[in-house]
Amino acid sequence: MSAKRVTQERRSNRPLREVLDELISHTREIARRAREMKPEELDYAQQRLEWLADEVWRVATGQEAGPEA
Q: Stretch 30-43: mean pLDDT, rounded?
A: 96
State residue 5's pLDDT score: 61
pTM: 0.73
Cα 50 to Cα 65: distance, rounded to the nearest angstrom = 15
For residue 47, the SS3 value is: helix
Please tell me which residue, 49 or 63, carries the higher pLDDT value: 49
- Per the CB < 8 A criterion, the answer to whether 54 and 65 are in contact is no
- DSSP-derived letter for residue 40 is H
- Per the CB < 8 A criterion, the answer to whether 58 and 65 are in contact is yes
- 31: CB partners within 8 A, 6+ apart: none
